[in-house]
Structure 1
Amino acid sequence: MAFQDRTLAIAFASLAVGLAVLGLKFFAWHLTGSIALYSDALESIVNVVTAIFALIAVRLAQRPADASLPYGYHKAEYFSAVLVGVMIIVAAILILREAYQGFLAPELPEAPVEGLAFSIVATLINVTWAQYLRRYGTRVRSPALVADAKHLMTDVVSTVGVIAGLVLVYATGIAALDSLLAALVAVNILWSGWGVIRESVGGLMDVAVPPETQKTIRDVIAQNADGAIEAHDIRTRQAGKLTFIDFHLVVPGTMSVEAAHAICDCLEAKLREAVEDVQITIHVEPENKAKHAGIVVL
């Protein structure tokens, strides 16, 4: 429960950070009138929406399985991440629209030092929080928090580019560069949005665990199935922080149910030691069902 409370608290904190950064960036835009800083502020609106989605998804994913969803609510975080990706793309389209308007009527931004100072402070907050969020989200295997962290880092990269570009705008006096910067920010955001959607759809499609985890699973089965003949049709899938494993275990036809059950208990215990947050299903079969494939134990 403490672990779940901390994850929820971090999701709340992410929303608070997003609101603070949003305020700083809009104030920077208000001071300068820069289209590039306006585009950066628009992206921060997406950060806030992202944090809201992540908060809802994390809270929902913590609900226990019930009769209507017997496998739990863990995939709620993938839906959140897909919505985040869509919001990122919408923000990019809005920024491209503003950039186009700026190309038609270019103007030099005002109050450069003050505006850039507020933008730099907002960026420092973002980069610090994104690094913490990424580490924690990866450790607890939360797709929503990881997606939030990735988008924050995209925001950081965009803002650093905007700040550097605005310095060039002020130095050269070429007002059209402000709109060009906004367009480049939009392209970067589009790429980020596509990446978030692609990874999240993989989770919704029951993507298998990474190859190194699959190898660990196969090694554990091979080393702890004494008395069985083979294990085949091994399947894995990831759903939020949960890993699902199911396979067929072939045992001698003369083996008692109690003995076969003992082998299954041993395998489940060892797999839980090797893989965090795992749910295991083992289908026991007699030796005439052997496929002489998969993991041969004897």
Structure 2
Amino acid sequence: MQPKKKAILLALCISILLMLAKFVAYFITQSNAILTDAAESIVNVLASGFAFYSIYLTTMPKDENHPYGHGKVEFFSAFLEGTLITIAGLIIIFKSGYDLIYPKQITNLFEGAAIIGVTGFVNMIVGYYLINAGKKHRSITLEADGKHLLTDAVTSAGLVVGVILIKLTEIYWLDGVISILLGIYIIYNGYKLTRRSVGGLMDESNIDLVKDIIAILQHNRKDPWIDVHNLRAQQYGADLHIDCHFTLPYYFDLNQVHYEISAIDKLINGEAHHKTELFIHADPCLPACCNYCKMKECHVRQEPFRAEIEWTIENATKNQKHFDQ
């Protein structure tokens, strides 16, 4: 089975088992705080189910209707997961507020805390596993699901401490207060996940990623590569699409231009951490480029080389040759 599918299927099966365990803990305690954790587990199951479907789509090859592949669905999956987390947090807060006004009896807290503690520990292990798998296979869906499970593990840990505190102090209204605090924490994490996914869906620039690409080009710069500008990057799941303009000597024939562009393609795919598809537009050099062009034996040079203009995110992403700046 494909590694990403295997990872998310494992997370889905474990989420179902943990959800059942948490509801058992709620039924034996009637604790609103434990119900909070159990309700979030429903979100875990729904999110993991959709994540599995989105990863199934991302493994499909490109087709006529999806020439860039199906990777964008991973951002939608993360958006859905963040939305579900936020909704769960809101429901938890409203339910806890109601129970503060109309409290109910709580029993078997130690037993319930033990069950929640075990489920939290399992979620922590699975969460780290998914995050590492997501980074390895460049899957925002796996990372999102892993971070969600880590959030669940943190709330479970806080819940165990709170339940033990309630049992020791016999201050039972703390049950509702703890639930509200956990609900706020859940909403915050849902917002962060949703914000990242919306950025991906809107093709928000990944500044760190663009900086890495520019640094690779600058470090391996060749004399015919006079300048690069209008560099843009879009991420589709694990794949990265880059388009840019490269200024080359105007007297190069098509074979030489193709050779230089192929060298750039091999460089990016050999050193970058993403599988990258490049669309490079070749621009001819102009006399104003001569002062920063390093071509040693140029028969059309009109002024001597003075200094190299270092490629940075400030100049490589602008849609103009460097001498226009």
Does the alignment reach a TM-score above 0.5? yes
- For residues 138-196 of structure 1, the C-alpha deviation after alignment (integer angstroms, 9 at most, x for no partner) is 22111111111111111111111111111111111111111111111111111011011
The residue type equivalent to 1:31 in the other structure is I
CA 171–86 in structure 1, closer or farther in 2 if over 3 Å, else same: same
**The 10-residue stretch of structure 1 (268-277 or 245-254) with the greater mean CA deviation from structure 2:** 245-254
Describe the superposition over 1:217-268 as per-residue Cα deviations: whole angstroms up to 9, x where unpaired.
2243342443243222112222221122111112222211000100011111
Please give the alpha-carbon distance, in whole angstroms, between the structure 2 residues aligned to 1:101 and 1:252.
73
2:229 match: secondary structure: strand
The answer to whether the aligner puts 1:199 opposite 2:168 as a matched pair is no
- Report the Cα offset of residue 289 of structure 1: 9.7
CA distance in 2 between partners of 1:88 and 1:160 (Å) = 18
Deviation per CA, 1:83-123, whole angstroms, max 9, x where unpaired?
Answer: 11111111112212221221122234211222111111111
Q: Does 1:124 align with 2:106?
A: no
Which contiguous aligned blocks of 4+ residues in structure 1 show a shift greater than 4 angstroms?
Answer: 289-297
Identity of aligned residues (%): 30
Which one of 277, 285, 288 corresponds to residue 287 of structure 1?
285
Q: Secondary structure at the match of 2:85?
A: helix
Deviations 1:34-72 (A, max 9, x none): 000001100111111110111011111111111111111
Where does residue 220 of structure 1 map in the other structure? 216
Counterpart of 1:11, as a letter, is I
How many pairs were matched up? 293
Find the aligned partners of 1:219 and 1:122 in 2 and give their Cα distance.
44
Partner of 2:59: 62
In the alignment, is residue 261 of structure 1 matched against residue 258 of structure 2? Answer: yes
Establish whether residue 186 from structure 1 lines up as the match of residue 213 from structure 2. no
TM-score (normalizing by structure 2): 0.85
CA distance change for structure 1 residues 161 and 280 in 2, over 3 Å: closer, same or farther?
A: same
1:19 equivalent in alignment to 2:40: no
Inter-partner Cα distance in structure 2 for 1:88 and 1:12 = 20
8 Å contact from structure 2 (residues 28, 108) kept in 1? yes
Q: Which residue of 1 aligns with 2:107?
A: 110
Q: Which residue of the partner structure matches residue 148 of structure 1?
A: 145
TM-score (norm 1): 0.92
- From 10, 29, 32, the equivalent of 2:26 is 29
User: Is the CA contact 1:206–1:239 (under 8 Å) kept in the aligned structure 2?
Assistant: no
Letter aligned with residue 194 of structure 1: Y
> Match for 2:235 among 238, 241, 248?
238
Cα contact 1:225–1:263 (8 A) shared by 2: no
| Alpha-carbon offset, residue 32 of structure 1 | 0.4
Distance across 2 between alignment mates of 1:176 and 1:201: 38
Which whole-Å CA distance do the structure 1 matches of 2:36 and 2:165 have between them? 17
> CA–CA distance in 2 between the matches of 1:89 and 1:219?
38
CA distance in 2, matches of 1:169, 1:152: 25
1:70 alignment partner AA: P
Match of 1:102, SS state, is helix
**SS where residue 46 of structure 1 aligns?**
helix
Q: 1:225 to 1:27 in 2, by over 3 A?
A: same
Flag the structure with larger Rg. Answer: 2
Q: Structure 2 counterpart of 1:165, which letter? A: G
